[in-house]
């Protein structure tokens, strides 16, 4: 793990609620969390405990009601919508649980979207997207549309899309939920290798206990709070590539 004075993520007493009056639900009840650059941190806990809300605040998709949340010292709530979108486009990769692939675009075109948004020339975007698909063993399906892919293949396309623009922070919501055990391990090994080799930060929400071994630390949430933060330490063999 890298040491750096600038934290990748710093949350201080973050609170978030939805609804009004008797229908109001407090999703986050004062979350405190610090993540160093180069860490792989997993957030675990029962359904409805606030995990997805927390990573949505960290990624700048939602605004917190109270408290402070900074990503590499940037307070995303403190900047305008356009600047926030630009920051996310350059520095944050997100693997949504619903995947959010565009059904009318091929796998290659889906992966290239973040690059094109950032102004990368289409020829370079295609080359980099092809490399990203090769890393998740899907380059042979690059011309297939999402509806022609299995659920696991779609998830790997979404992961390639999150990695392709080389973001500093990668946020994943249940990245192995549609994958079999072996493929899930391969994908987590790939993402962990990216974190270790390029000093990026990976934040993963998961219910999949089979991948806990890939984490540096595990944050357990319950009822809108982080109730335990433990050092995990990877037990996986780091000597081989993810898909070897």
Q: Give domain status of residue 140, yes or no.
A: no
Which of 81-90, 150-159, 171-180, 200-209 ranks highest by mean pLDDT?
Answer: 200-209
Examine the pLDDT at 162 and tell me if it is beyond 50: yes
Q: What is the pLDDT of residues 165-200, one digit of tens each?
A: 989 999 999 888 778 888 888 888 888 887 777 778
Q: Give domain status of residue 93, yes or no.
A: yes
Examine the pLDDT at 3 and tell me if it is beyond 60: no
Q: Give domain status of residue 149, yes or no.
A: no
- The mean of the pLDDT values for the chain is 88
Q: Is the dihedral of CA 32, 38, 39, 40 positive or negative?
A: positive
- Scanning the chain, the segments in alpha helix (DSSP H) are 51-58, 81-91, 107-117, 122-135, 151-163, 181-198
Q: Domain total for the chain?
A: 1
* Mean pLDDT of the region 198-224: 92
Under the banding of pLDDT at 50, 70 and 90, the label for residue 241 is: very low
Residue 135: name the closest of 101, 171, 107, 159 by CA. 159
pTM: 0.85
Under the banding of pLDDT at 50, 70 and 90, the label for residue 232 is: confident
Which CATH number belongs to the domain containing residue 81 in this structure? 3.40.50.300
Q: Give domain status of residue 4, yes or no.
A: no
* Mean pLDDT of the region 134-148: 93
Q: Which long-range contacts (CB under 8 A, 24 or more apart) does 104-109 make?
A: 104/145, 105/145, 105/146, 106/142, 106/143, 106/144, 106/145, 107/133, 107/138, 107/141, 107/142, 107/143, 107/144, 107/145, 107/146, 107/149, 107/153, 107/157, 108/133, 108/142, 108/143
Q: Give domain status of residue 43, yes or no.
A: yes
Examine the pLDDT at 243 and tell me if it is beyond 50: no
Q: Give domain status of residue 47, yes or no.
A: yes
Q: Give domain status of residue 116, yes or no.
A: no
Q: Give domain status of residue 191, yes or no.
A: yes
Range of the domain at 73: 9-18+28-100+168-231
């Amino acid at each position: 793990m890298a040491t750096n004075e600038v934290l990748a993520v710093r949350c201080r007493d973050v609170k978030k609620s939805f609804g009004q009056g008797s229908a109001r639900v407090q999703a986050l009840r004062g979350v405190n969390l610090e993540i160093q650059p180069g860490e792989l941190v997993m957030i675990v806990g029962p359904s409805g405990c606030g995990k997805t809300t927390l990573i949505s605040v960290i990624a700048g998709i939602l605004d917190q009601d109270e408290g402070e949340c900074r990503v590499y010292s940037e307070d995303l709530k403190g900047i305008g919508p356009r600047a926030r979108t630009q920051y996310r486009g350059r520095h944050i990769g997100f693997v949504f649980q619903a995947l959010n692939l565009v059904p009318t675009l091929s796998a290659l075109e889906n992966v290239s979207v973040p690059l094109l948004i950032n102004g990368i020339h289409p020829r370079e975007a295609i080359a980099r997207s092809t490399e990203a698909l090769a890393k998740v063993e899907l380059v042979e399906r690059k011309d297939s549309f999402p509806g022609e892919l299995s659920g696991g293949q779609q998830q790997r396309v979404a992961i390639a899309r999150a990695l392709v623009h080389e973001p500093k922070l990668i946020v994943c919501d249940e990245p192995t939920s549609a994958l079999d055990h072996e493929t899930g391990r391969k994908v987590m090994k790939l993402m962990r290798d990216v974190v270790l080799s390029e000093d990026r930060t990976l934040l993963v929400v998961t219910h999949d206990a089979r991948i806990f071994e890939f984490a540096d630390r595990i944050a357990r949430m319950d009822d809108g709070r982080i109730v335990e933060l433990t050092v995990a330490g990877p037990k996986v063999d780091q000597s081989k590539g993810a898909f070897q």
